[in-house]
Amino acid sequence: MLLNRYHHLRLCVLVLLLCTGRRIDELLTAPRGEGADGPLIYHPARGAAPSGELWFQFAPNKHGPRDEVYISPEWHDVTCYCVHALLHYSDEVRDMAPPTEQRFLILVSEWNGTCRKGAAKLPAGVVSERSFVREAVHGQVEPQQSGQEQATGLSYSAFERWLNGQDKSKWHRVGVFKAMEGNCRWQR
């Protein structure tokens, strides 16, 4: 099963939570960092590879003393993959975010298919509903930019709704794992 941008971004957040062991709010407000590796930092260490040990920079809450967490070598590849995917999606829309949120690692926007209604149901490879319609008609893939386009940091409540679903309103939505349950074929 291929994931669209909406689900792929959130799955990367979930996996990064497992890799870092940090709280969700510390990850959602993690800084973008500098360069191609963003918040991934290598520190020299005795007995480590020449590049050093991998650390992830986050936004500590509860006034923690450190803003970096060590990444175990077993988690290096998946951590780097998730961070680079998040950087890719977020950097596409970074200039559309309010100045106070541009520093966040994780940004979402309707413009690139990572948030808003309908984005969860888009086929994999489609950037937005507008691009889906335009691709069908004109063979173009890139979305048109308008003055209405915005980006924002992924909120805890939006991430929780994706993960657990929502029944508190007239719009009942099941969580992502429940929704995918019917699509999985387990073989013994």
Which two tokens mark 182? 């019917």
Tell me, what's the pLDDT at 45? Answer: 83
In whole angstroms, give the CA distance from residue 166 to residue 76.
Answer: 33
Task: Report, as an integer, the average pLDDT of 103-110.
Answer: 95
Statement: residue 177 has pLDDT above 80: no
Q: Judging by beta carbons within 10 Å of its beta carbon (0-12, 13-18, 19+), is residue 88 exposed, middle or buried?
A: middle
Tell me, what's the pLDDT at 62? Answer: 72
Statement: residue 101 has pLDDT above 60: yes
Residue type, 52: G
- Beta bridge pairs of residue 173: 166
Using pLDDT thresholds of 50, 70 and 90, give the confidence band for residue 27. very high
Instruction: Return the minimum-mean-pLDDT range out of 45-49, 91-95, 109-113.
Output: 45-49
In whole angstroms, give the CA distance from residue 7 to residue 118.
Answer: 12
Say what the pTM is: 0.79
Task: Report, as an integer, the average pLDDT of 158-167.
Answer: 78
Task: Report, as an integer, the average pLDDT of 56-78.
Answer: 87
Domain-wise residue ranges, the chain? 5-181
